[in-house]
Structure 1
Amino acid sequence: MDPECARLLPALCAVLADPRQPVADDTCLEKLLDWFKAVTEAGSSLLLLQEHPCLVELLFHALRAQDLSPRTLSFALRLAGVFAAQENCFQHLQQGELLPGLFGEPGPLGAAAWVAPSVRSGWIQGLRSLAQHPSALRFLANSGAVDTIFSLQGDPSLFVASAAGQLLVHILDLAMREPAEGRVCPQAWDWPVCARKIVCHLEDCLRSDAAPRVTQALHVLTTTFGHCHGLWTQGLWVQLSPLVACLLEKDPMPAPHTLVDLLLSVARSSVPSSDPGLWETVAQTLTRLSPTQAGPLAAGILKLQDCPQALRIQAFNVLLQPLACVLEAAAQAPATPGLLEGAAGDPMAVDTLPPSKSACVGLLCSALAHLELLQPLPQRPSPWPQAPLLAATVTILRFCNGSAAPSSEAGGRLCTMLVGCVRVQRAALDFLGVLSQGLGPQELVTQVFAVLLEYLMSPDSSPMVLKKAFQATLRWLLSSAMPPGCCDLEPCAQLVLGELLAMLQKRLCSPCWEVRDSGLEFLTQVTRHWGGQASFRQVLLASELPELTRQLLQDPESYVRASAVAAVGQLSSWGLLAAPSSPEQPAIPQETPLEALLLILTTDSEGFPRRAVMRVFTEWLRDGHAEVAEDPERFVAEVLRAAGKDGDWEVRVQGLELALVFLERLLGPRGSSAVAPPSVTARAMRALCQVQLFEFAFRSLFDCDRPVAQKSCDLLLFLRATATPPGSPQEAGDRPNVASVEAALRRWRAGEQGQPLGELAPEAILAVLRSMDLEALRDTLAKSSDHVERSPQSLLQDMLATVGVLGDNEADCY
């Protein structure tokens, strides 16, 4: 321990033990505890206590004092656990009756402070730290602490109850670790006392008629099989699985959701290889649970790599049944293949869907969500019923917008429950988008596009539903390209795209800003993919979309302005913003897209549009946009001048990204090992000085926002590596005068940002780059912002100064 900390420690312990002193806040106590953990991990806890007896006195005071604050008592309990984690220190503290007093029956259990949840939590955390060695196990078995942990499982504080359950798992794992070594699976009669006591408690809970006690046991077992990987877990399951199976026979079944978590935890462990009967229990559980409760278990089973095929079919049926009911309710044509075709079990009749709207909606959303996550997985069921799933999802969407035809009274009730239901619409549109990754009959694909258009054109579609419909439509358009990745679309998709552009004109004029925003995002995406296609260009240029997009650059909502910037960027990249003209009606000169976006960059009061402009400008420079290619140096200079003055750090970072793109155009791509020839370097350096890139980059190097400084460091390292051959430092006689540059950098580092660098000679810049330790700066910047922690000495001084023990000149308060 640092000598100064050792000098301050007795005074701090006296303050903590004095109930009259206002103890420092919880944050200071947490930092103090972290410091003690670090000290004990680096050396002997016993030696620490022998050298600093004030620590033992503090713990004894916590044991005896009746008026100690709950905060301080909780700290003392946790501190005792930190010291006792080492076995020799544990034995030293136990000889003085300190540990039995703190953690046994006579200790805090009888104190008034025990009513505070923080004290009970500190007691549990102290035991968690202490339970690391065989001596701790014997102490736990004999002190009555395990019984207290059992009672705390039902604590009114959820944090305390959860911590108690996790502590039982830790003790069980510690107890079973040694007996399990070298054996296939220890028998129950070989288990240590602590382990037998915990397992007996779990057995009693599983037999209980009280649902909370069953839930507590299931939580402990779920954590055990999820976090403990010893062979002993197999023996534990053999012993407890009959009691778990008995839960299935109770009516109602206790804690069904927790039981599902347990079965999945066991199925992911090593148990299935030793107990094939687990799968039978899972199959029985799927049968006993309601469809809503069974969904998570079915989805979890289908994500496993190895499980019996019959169980996979049963689990898949659970997820498919709600969708099969929807098809039955809509009187699907006989030609539509059945969802459950070839599977074990009968489809659920439509009148067996949950009768309440909330339950029915929840079941459908759950099934759609599980199937959505399952679709991309390699272990998904095969064959995958793509066509029936498409038909069912389209039918659900038609029920929701009122266009489906119910086939029975039960179907009519389903229609009433689903019509206008935004939650189901969103889930179905998400799943429909995922289904675009598979193939389907042309008739069904046509129905997909038809229902998507209905939603996009309907005035009743909510903004969020519209956004989901736009996303699903884009995915289906992309999957309709011939061949995949080509910009040519199938005839059906070509017609849809034409209708979509006509619809977009109305959506961009919507009074709802979310709708305008979603419409612009969709326009940006379709232009990115099909801006070069003749039919798309013809329809777009004949519409009002380019002009509407220009107008939305002045939208009152900043999100819409940002989306309009992105759309203008794409339209301009493809040459789709030119105003139509004819000999009779010549085009009126308009502000160019570059001028319009520069105005936003320099005048918009919100950050979102300015960030969007910088992303567009970077893309334009990278892709060789026509307006930029006319005079790239002038373009870069204007943009960097504006970005350097911007108060938004993301704009400045994007400015550095643009500067990197400009560097790559001049010197070659990053990542290549080639060093630019001297003639290329000379031209590049002149261009970089002309656009004042170094002024921007060096200022950014000392930016108060770390991402900006990191990006600048990357840029300068790339420049130095590319423009300066390694191992060829400049001769001393040829070294240019860099004093003015280095002086300016020192002022900037000190926070004086006013004076510019002025005229820069390329040779001086390269010399400065050679002299800077950019690698060390990069390493410093890569550390998290909290890596400079307050020293222990400073922490102790501040805690003492808070209560007036130290003078102001000795404190380092913040």
Structure 2
Amino acid sequence: MDPECSRLLPALCAVLADPRQLVTDDTCLEKLLDWFKTVTEAESSLLLLEENPCLVDLLSHALKFQDVSSRILSFSLRLAGIFAAQENCFQYLQQGELLLGLFGEAGPLGFPAWNVPSVRSGWIQGLCSLAQHPSAEQFLIECGAMDTIFSLQGDSSLFVASAASQLLVQVLGLSLQGRATLQLGLPDGDWPSCAQSIVGYLEESLRSEATPQVTQALKVLTTMFGRCHQPWTEALWMRLSPLVVCLLEKDPVPTAHSLVDLFLSMARSPVFGSSDCDLWVTLAQTLSRLSPMQAGPLALGILKLHVCPQALRTQAFDVLLLPLACVLEAAAQPPGFRSCVYPPGLLDGTGSSLAMADALLASTSSCAGLLCQSLAHLGELQPLPHGPRLWPQAPLLKATVTTLCFCSGSAVPVSSVGGRLCRILAGCVRVQRAALDFLGTLSQGTGPQESVMQVFAILLEYLRSPESSPTVLKKAFQATLRWLLSTSKVCGSNDPGCHTQPFLRELFPVMQKRLCNPCWEVRDSALEFLTHLTAHWEGQPGFRQALLASDMPELAQQLLQDPEAYVRASAVAAMGQLASQGLHATPTGPEHPGAQQKSLLQELLHILSTDSEGFPRRAVMQVFTRWLQDGHTAMAEDLEQFMARVFQVVSRDLDWEVRVQGLELARVFLAQTLGPPDCPYAVALPAAAPPIPPIEVLRTLGRVQLLEFAFRALFDCDRPVAQKSCDLLLLLRARTAPDSGLQGAGGGPDTATVEAALRAWQAGEQGQPLGELVPEVVVAVLRALDLEGLQATLAQSSDHVEQSPRSLLQDMLATVGALGGHEADCY
């Protein structure tokens, strides 16, 4: 330990032990514990206590007064555990019965502070630190701590109960460490006493008629099998499995969720996944005993396993498919008028009767919950490489479209179950969102053209419907985009296919109405959809023709003045994407192709200068950056004047993200001005343009005010802005300063003025003018600045200011006035 810290420790311990000094900063106590943990990991805890007896006195103080504050008591318990993690220090503390007093039955358990959850948590965390060696195992038995640990499994505080469960797992692992499975398979007397106590508690809990007690035991086992992959876990399961399996025989099955967590935790363990135990049989039995809603998460977990019997995978997949099979069956024609109940392949011939559908879909909550769960789980499985071997794409498409028809009310019921589904699912937003999500996921597969046309039909129905909620419309737009893109890939072209072109002609009038919707969320979703669609198909003749024949470009531009900031930002992005390919009409006709673009450019500059919200301004900067990268024609004329205006506006923007985006624009402009870097191994092209001399580059950067913007941003109070500026200036220095031939070093008057202004800016005085940034001065300043050092400082975390242990101790003492003079080193 640092000598200065040792000097401060006695005063700090006295403050912590003094009930008159209220230590209210829990953060400082946490940092203090972290420091002690770091010290004990590097040094001997015993030597630390011998050299600093004030620490032992502090721990002893926690036992002398029952009215000790809960903060200090919890801190002392955790600190004692940190010291006792080393066995020789544990023995040292045991000699004075200090540990027995802190963690035994006669200790804090009888204090009024024990009612505070943080004290109980501190007691558990102290034991977690302590339970690292064999001596600790015997101590837990002798001091009576095990009974307290058992009782805390059901603590009213979830944090305490969770920590107690973790402690029980740790103690059991410590007790059984190094034990062979065969030894544990012998009679009870061969189990270590601590392990025997824990296993007895688990057995008693599993036999209990109280559901909370059963749940606690199952959570402990789940944590155990998830964390410990030692051979003895198999012996533990052999002893406890009869009691766990008995739970499956009860009706209804208690704590089904905890049972599912336990079995999946075991299935992921290499001990059980590779052994010949009956876990797979138990999983199959569990799937058949649980209700469909309870079995869903277990089925999903089984199908995500890399190693699993095929029969069990088929059974689990059928559990997830069953709700959708029931929907198809309910939508089928009455018996005697149908050729099949549902498309072949959905349940591999096992079938589901109308009676089963009636039982599963008996109420609104159960129907919606079951369908949403099934759709979500199937959506997770679809992209997995080790998912079901035979994916029933066509039946799933039909089932999902049918579900959406029931929700929209467009399905015609032909049976009693179908009629009940219509009433239950009509307008159910939960199911609509889940089905649209899954429909979008199914776009990754293929399907017959008839099914694809049905998909587009139901999507168009939802996009048209005035009953569709904003969230449902957003999901419908997302699913539509995925299906449009997938069908174009199947056709081998990015252009809309022959069967999607008519869909687009019907879709665009619907989008026009959505762009005029009174709900801002709907307008926003429509603009986002337009932007994504344009990004993928902007160069395709079929799409361009359909888009230009609509009024969407004009409507999107009108939304630049929308009262909602989110919509204005989306409109900026949409217009930027449209204008990048000239996908908007011009008011003066095709003979003036640049008129509308100039108008849009000025409108975007106006938004950047005057919009009160940050979202639209950020969107404008992103559009400008993309236009500059792509060489957009709207920026080709008077580029320097345009860039100067942008940098002048952005440098004063109060939104740091706008300033960062402004520096990204500056980086692109700098890269284009400098040209590609010289490569000594490259073969020069005869038609290559000669590189611009560094002096001309610096003059250009000065004219567009990029240099002043970058220097000012170098000392920005927001770290991402300063980092971006530092990177930009490092690039500029590397490309211009070394071989510029400019004599910028020295202390000429202009250089001195600029350097003085930069020092003032660094000190927070941003009002001082920078001075004339002629090329010679810029080179000199770039060479004088320690950009590498500044970059390293900015790369550190936001709390990179020195936080030494000495500073921590001094600040804690200064808070209570225990230091005199100027000893405090606040950070």
Q: Secondary structure at the match of 1:178?
A: coil
Q: 2:346 aligns with which of 340, 346, 349?
A: 340
Which amino acid is the alignment partner of residue 49 of structure 1? L
Note the alpha carbon deviations across 1:239-272, whole angstroms, 9 max, x for none: 2222221211122212100100011110000112
Following the alignment from structure 2 to structure 1, what is the Cα–Cα distance between the partners of residues 543 and 293? 45
Q: CA deviation at 1:734?
A: 7.4
Tell me the residue number matched to 1:318: 319
Q: Secondary structure at the match of 1:511?
A: coil
Tell me the residue number matched to 1:282: 283
Distance 1:178-1:767 versus aligned 2 partners, 3 A rule = farther
Q: Does residue 102 of structure 2 align to residue 102 of structure 1?
A: yes
Following the alignment from structure 1 to structure 2, what is the Cα–Cα distance between the partners of residues 164 and 672? 63
Distance 1:671-1:6 versus aligned 2 partners, 3 A rule = farther
Q: Secondary structure at the match of 2:177?
A: helix
Q: Which residues of 2 match residues 70-85 of structure 1 at below 5 A?
A: 70-85=70-85
Q: Does residue 697 of structure 2 align to residue 690 of structure 1?
A: no
Q: Secondary structure at the match of 2:198?
A: helix
Note the alpha carbon deviations across 1:359-389, whole angstroms, 9 max, x for none: 1111100000001111111011121100011
Tell me the residue number matched to 2:616: 609
Q: Secondary structure at the match of 2:499?
A: helix
Question: Would you say the 8 A contact 1:621–1:662 is kept in 2?
Answer: yes
Following the alignment from structure 1 to structure 2, what is the Cα–Cα distance between the partners of residues 713 and 306? 51
Question: Would you say the 8 A contact 1:664–1:670 is kept in 2?
Answer: no
Question: Would you say the 8 A contact 1:670–1:718 is kept in 2?
Answer: no
Tell me the residue number matched to 1:210: 210
Note the alpha carbon deviations across 1:202-227, whole angstroms, 9 max, x for none: 12212222211111111011111112
Which amino acid is the alignment partner of residue 609 of structure 1? P
Higher mean C-alpha deviation, range 43-52 or range 739-748: 739-748
Following the alignment from structure 2 to structure 1, what is the Cα–Cα distance between the partners of residues 512 and 742? 66
Which amino acid is the alignment partner of residue 759 of structure 1? E
Q: Does residue 384 of structure 2 align to residue 383 of structure 1?
A: no
Following the alignment from structure 2 to structure 1, what is the Cα–Cα distance between the partners of residues 641 and 681? 28
Question: Would you say the 8 A contact 1:298–1:315 is kept in 2?
Answer: yes
Tell me the residue number matched to 1:748: 761
Q: Secondary structure at the match of 2:377?
A: helix
Q: Secondary structure at the match of 2:178?
A: helix
Question: Would you say the 8 A contact 2:66–2:111 is kept in 1?
Answer: yes
Tell me the residue number matched to 2:732: 719
Following the alignment from structure 2 to structure 1, what is the Cα–Cα distance between the partners of residues 591 and 179? 96
Aligned alpha-carbon RMSD (Å): 2.7
Question: Would you say the 8 A contact 2:183–2:190 is kept in 1?
Answer: no
Question: Would you say the 8 A contact 2:331–2:418 is kept in 1?
Answer: yes
Question: Would you say the 8 A contact 2:326–2:352 is kept in 1?
Answer: no
Q: Does residue 366 of structure 2 align to residue 359 of structure 1?
A: yes
Tell me the residue number matched to 1:799: 812
Q: CA deviation at 1:761?
A: 3.1
Distance 1:810-1:77 versus aligned 2 partners, 3 A rule = same
Tell me the residue number matched to 2:685: none
Q: 1:405 aligns with which of 409, 412, 417?
A: 412
Question: Would you say the 8 A contact 1:185–1:234 is kept in 2?
Answer: no
Aligned length: 810
Q: Which residues of 2 match residues 151-300 of structure 1 at below 5 A?
A: 151-179=151-179, 187=185, 190-270=190-270, 271-300=272-301
Q: 1:757 aligns with which of 764, 770, 792?
A: 770
Following the alignment from structure 1 to structure 2, what is the Cα–Cα distance between the partners of residues 300 and 475? 27
Distance 1:483-1:436 versus aligned 2 partners, 3 A rule = closer
Q: CA deviation at 1:184?
A: 8.4
Tell me the residue number matched to 2:686: none
Following the alignment from structure 2 to structure 1, what is the Cα–Cα distance between the partners of residues 769 and 345? 71
Q: CA deviation at 1:67?
A: 1.6
Distance 1:671-1:408 versus aligned 2 partners, 3 A rule = farther
Tell me the residue number matched to 2:432: 425
Distance 1:590-1:791 versus aligned 2 partners, 3 A rule = closer
Note the alpha carbon deviations across 1:618-651, whole angstroms, 9 max, x for none: 1100111111122333332222221111110000
Question: Would you say the 8 A contact 1:74–1:121 is kept in 2?
Answer: yes
Tell me the residue number matched to 1:491: 498
Distance 1:563-1:584 versus aligned 2 partners, 3 A rule = closer
Q: CA deviation at 1:23?
A: 2.4
Which amino acid is the alignment partner of residue 113 of structure 2? A
Question: Would you say the 8 A contact 1:695–1:756 is kept in 2?
Answer: no
Unaligned 5+ runs, structure 1: none
Which amino acid is the alignment partner of residue 523 of structure 2? R
Following the alignment from structure 1 to structure 2, what is the Cα–Cα distance between the partners of residues 482 and 115? 65
Question: Would you say the 8 A contact 1:321–1:347 is kept in 2?
Answer: no
Following the alignment from structure 2 to structure 1, what is the Cα–Cα distance between the partners of residues 596 and 496? 35
Q: CA deviation at 1:468?
A: 0.6
Higher mean C-alpha deviation, range 431-440 or range 405-414: 405-414
Distance 1:801-1:583 versus aligned 2 partners, 3 A rule = closer
Unaligned 5+ runs, structure 2: 683-688
Following the alignment from structure 1 to structure 2, what is the Cα–Cα distance between the partners of residues 627 and 684? 23
Higher mean C-alpha deviation, range 160-169 or range 693-702: 693-702
Q: Which residues of 2 match residues 420-459 of structure 1 at below 5 A?
A: 420-459=427-466
Following the alignment from structure 1 to structure 2, what is the Cα–Cα distance between the partners of residues 532 and 100? 78
Higher mean C-alpha deviation, range 226-235 or range 545-554: 226-235
Higher mean C-alpha deviation, range 198-207 or range 768-777: 768-777
Question: Would you say the 8 A contact 2:744–2:776 is kept in 1?
Answer: no
Following the alignment from structure 1 to structure 2, what is the Cα–Cα distance between the partners of residues 106 and 115? 15
Question: Would you say the 8 A contact 1:481–1:488 is kept in 2?
Answer: yes
Following the alignment from structure 1 to structure 2, what is the Cα–Cα distance between the partners of residues 20 and 571? 70
Following the alignment from structure 1 to structure 2, what is the Cα–Cα distance between the partners of residues 588 and 165? 71
Question: Would you say the 8 A contact 1:8–1:796 is kept in 2?
Answer: yes
Q: CA deviation at 1:564?
A: 0.7
Note the alpha carbon deviations across 1:7-43, whole angstroms, 9 max, x for none: 3322222222222332233222222222222222221
Question: Would you say the 8 A contact 2:184–2:232 is kept in 1?
Answer: yes
| Identical positions, percent | 68
Q: 2:556 aligns with which of 534, 549, 553?
A: 549
Note the alpha carbon deviations across 1:447-493, whole angstroms, 9 max, x for none: 10000001101111001101110110011111111556733111221
User: What TM-score does the superposition give when structure 2 sets the normalisation length?
Assistant: 0.93
Which amino acid is the alignment partner of residue 708 of structure 1? V
Question: Would you say the 8 A contact 1:185–1:235 is kept in 2?
Answer: no
Q: Secondary structure at the match of 2:651?
A: helix
Distance 1:765-1:342 versus aligned 2 partners, 3 A rule = same
Q: CA deviation at 1:185?
A: 8.1
Higher mean C-alpha deviation, range 329-338 or range 94-103: 329-338
Q: CA deviation at 1:745?
A: 2.2
Q: CA deviation at 1:679?
A: 4.3
User: What TM-score does the superposition give when structure 1 sets the normalisation length?
Assistant: 0.94
